Chain A
Amino acid sequence: MKAPKPRTALAIGAAAIGLLALARSSARDAPAATGDAPGRTARRERFGRYRVVGKTVTVAKPSRAELFDFWRDFTNLPAFMENLNAVRPLSEGRWEWEIVAPGETSVTVVTEIASERAGELIAWRSVEGSRIDTEGRVAFRDAPGGRGTQVELVVAYVPPAGQAGVAIAKLLQREPAQQARRDLRRFKALMETGEIPTSDNRIETEKA
């Protein structure tokens, strides 16, 4: 393995993927603390420079392959991810994420696929020079008892330091854990029911 160069995408990616692995199974440094529980359920939130948030839901239908395919087309993500305006494919397997940011119209992050196993796992990470240093991973596995698919979303990000833009700081302070949890549950609802439930009594018509 290459010697890590600080702040390069590769190094950060590798480091954070390690963190995601840590978040997934029991932590190397603290196996006794979590037993079989995911490391991120430990009563701490930070893994090195990274903060890790995540959630698991069980989706009854459609099939694991269909769930995977829906997610793998990142242009579908804004349908259930509240703070995404759009995701656009770029060349070389890169994607441009347009994220709603308070105080600014949007923040753009370019990601690349960090790893992928058909029907099982998609991991992405921000490329070098991004305004937000983040990566995410979604894993799909069969739920026991024929209950469908367990879908686990884990997101790691570096909380902005002093020099980061105010908008980004605000964005990341908007409870990323809550965001991840709610996005994943909207994904489940959309997949199981074909819609995202709301108690709104009418579609708000935009003011002319």
Chain B
Amino acid sequence: MRALTYHGKKDVRVDTHPDPGIVNPRDAIIKITATAICGSDLHLYDGVIPGLMAGDILGHEFMGEVVETGPGSTLKKGQRVVVPFTISCGSCFFCEKQQYSACDNSNPVEKREMSETLYGQPMSGLFGYSHMTGGYPGGQAEYVRVPFSDVGPIVIENDDLEDEKVLFLSDILPTGWMAAENAAIEGGDTVAVWGAGPVGLFAAQSAKVMNAERVIVIDHHPHRLELAKGLGCETLNFREVDVREALLEMTGGIGPDAVIDAVGMEAHGFAIDNMLDVAKQTVGIGADRASALKQALLACRKGGRVSIPGVYGGMTDKFPLGALMEKGLKIGTGQTHVQRFTHLLLGLIEEGKIDTTFLISHRLPLEEAPDGYYNFRNYQNEWTKVVLKPGT
């Protein structure tokens, strides 16, 4: 089969690999009809997440048709499914608590120890990501092997829902939703969202659905900010204004009740600490760039809530711990527990309460995936979300 393959920093190509097969009883094989490039893939592309190897197949946002099932799978051939990017066994302590991205079993024993060293405990397996999270071949491919297929995939029964309406159930839609849940929104709240990428926009949309009174989205790409406006949000361009000052003024001197960092470890910006962090990342001594998060912590009102869907992989320097402690902020974060939200969100899509298609700017055949990566990274303003269609 053909699959988007990591060769090295900023070097991905579509190569031929052996087709996947059933390995474990609960596996299924999916023929992929649509798959997307994610901001998390850009962290891999830029080489700032450890544990990726040349030859790895990327992609963790995908859907398709079931073509083969193991004896323990509950799926049937021919079913249309969207697959969560978190691989979860469904039966461990964490899965029972619906903390799927903390699954104790899905990250293979011999792969998980690096994340254990780094984080104290090992994390779950993820598709198409680092070997720290299992090194599972991803879904920017013609076929993918899906372990624990009786737990993760959600079957789309309604054929009127085209792929583009449901594909994002695999990651960014639940991620935006969980980000808003972690902001513990109350009536009358003002929520500030850093990053008008897919995650930030879906978080903003979810915050609206959860009855936030105002949502303010911060970015520097005018077109992305336009999309936020389209969702009924207010916007700030961080290159044009002093973000903290602007937020304070816009909230009558109080500060936002909740802040959401939908930027993660590759924040842009010219603050001095960020420039130092860029330098360290470039020479490979790997401090996470956390300038958006630092700004969010300072901007948040006293006793407010901090939600961090943006991905961080390691350590960061000059963290404003005092702001966090002295103001008594509450933090919610994590890789998304995707399986917890898929049914709820499918319902909201069917009711028309949530739209996902506004985000898609480009549709490409799988063979053009490397261009997709390049442009999604370098022309973020216009390239807001790339959907790849194998077999076209």
Contacts and interface: CB of A to CB of B under 8 A. Distances in A.
A22 interface: no
B146 to A, nearest CB: 11
Nearest to B25: A195
Contacts, number: 76
Contacts of B93: 58, 60, 147-148
Interface residues of B, number: 34
A61 B91 contact: yes
A193 B151 CA distance: 11
Contact of A199 (B89, B90, B92, B125): B125
B136 interface: yes
Interface stretch (B99-107, B252-260, B281-289): B99-107
Interface in A155-208: 178, 182, 185-186, 188-189, 192-203
Contact of B89 (A178, A192, A200): A192
A201 B91 contact: no
A189 B113 CA distance: 15
Contacts of A185: 109
Say what secondary structure dominates the interface of chain A: loop
Contacts of B72: 194-195
Interface residues of A, number: 23
A195 to B, nearest CB: 4
Given A193-B148, A201-B20, A203-B23, A182 B134 contact: no
Contact of A197 (B19, B20, B106): B106
A193 B125 contact: no
B128 to A, nearest CB: 10
B176 interface: no
B21 A202 contact: yes
B382 interface: no
B263 to A, nearest CB: 29
B333 to A, nearest CB: 24
Interface in B124-173: 125, 134-137, 145, 147-148
28 contacts: A60-B91, A61-B91, A178-B113, A182-B109, A188-B104, A189-B89, A189-B105, A192-B89, A192-B91, A193-B90, A193-B92, A193-B105, A194-B26, A195-B24, A197-B89, A197-B109, A197-B147, A198-B23, A198-B108, A199-B108, A199-B136, A201-B23, A201-B137, A201-B145, A202-B18, A202-B19, A203-B21, A203-B23
Interface of B: 17-21, 23-26, 72, 87, 89-93, 96, 104-111, 113, 125, 134-137, 145, 147-148
Given A192-B104, A198-B23, A202-B19, 9 more contacts: A188-B104, A197-B24, A199-B108, A199-B111, A199-B136, A201-B18, A201-B20, A201-B145, A202-B20
